Amino acid sequence: FKGDQFGSGFTEINPNSKIPALLDYDHSDETLPEGEPIRVFESGSVLLYLAEKFDPSVPEGMRFLPPTSKPALRAECLNWLMWQMGSAPNLGGAFGHYYRYAPVKIEYAIDRAAMEVKRLFDVLDRHLGGLDGGEEKAWVCGDVYTVADIAIYPWFVNMFKYGPTDIESGVFLGLKEYEHVNAWMDRVGARKAVKRGMQVNRARFLPERHSRDDFKPEEY
């Protein structure tokens, strides 16, 4: 909120001046000079990078990115991750701006953005509910919780919260009608790691997060 991401130090990490971004000093890439980190920016890229880096150390059934030995599941995960990356500008970027932040309220812009939000909710709702001929799914990729769920959830759950109150945009958009999306959001939101993540960078909770000690023991 202070605009630090527009300074030269941050743009060296992400030339697009957006968060999140990270520097990985703990790598084995011998093509880089000693001590030089790998830079990673854009949320989808960060999720893929971290999953590929750390997933091999955990049991296959607990990995956030399906392994190459399961190409169909992996492709489905990447499909939905890319869907989120392409859809996000229409959620917070378009509807959020015109509905809450724009100094001039333009009815056409709000209505156009609102219809696109509802279309995206319908796409996900039909997918999760098996309404297009498939099976009902607990998670975006079926029985496995993946980076697709992690990427999509914050954008969708926050669509309820644009406006002076925490429910105004959800009521305006009629988002409670998407039964399968809401059930999925309840499942995702009940996960302890998600609860911790949703506290970070929020003034009422954790403006910044630096260590595990920032959270209560019962939150792990």
pLDDT at 86: 92
**What's residue 129's pLDDT?**
97
Alpha-helix residue ranges (DSSP H) falling in 21-70: 43-54
Q: What are the pLDDT tens digits along the chain (220 aa)?
A: 466 666 667 888 899 888 889 999 999 999 999 999 999 999 999 999 999 998 887 877 778 999 989 999 999 999 999 999 998 878 878 998 898 888 999 999 999 999 999 999 999 999 999 998 889 999 999 999 999 999 999 999 988 876 555 568 888 999 999 999 999 999 999 999 999 888 886 666 676 766 788 888 777 7
pLDDT digit string (tens) for 89-142? 788 789 988 988 889 999 999 999 999 999 999 999 999 999 988 899 999 999
CA atoms within 13 A of residue 113's CA, in its CB half-sphere: 24
pLDDT for 167 equals: 61
Number of neighbouring beta carbons within 10 Å of residue 24 = 13
Paired with 22 in beta bridges are 40
**Predicted pLDDT at 212:** 80
Report the run of H or E that residue 111 belongs to, with start and end. helix 107-129
How many other CB atoms are found less than 10 A from the CB of residue 76?
18
| Phi, psi (rounded to 5 degrees) for 179 | -55, -45
Say if CB 20 and CB 46 are below 8 A apart.
Answer: yes
Given this model, what pLDDT does residue 1 score?
47
**pLDDT at residue 3, as a whole number:** 60
Residues 6+ away with beta carbon under 8 Å from 3: none
Pairing of strands 38-41, 21-24: antiparallel
CA atoms within 13 A on the CB side of 52: 11
Residue with tokens 């920032």: 214
pLDDT at 110 (0 to 100): 93
pLDDT of residue 7: 64
- The 3-state secondary structure of 170-210, one letter per residue: HHHHCHHHCHHHHHHHHHHHCCHHHHHHCCECCCCCECCCC
Quote the pTM value. 0.88
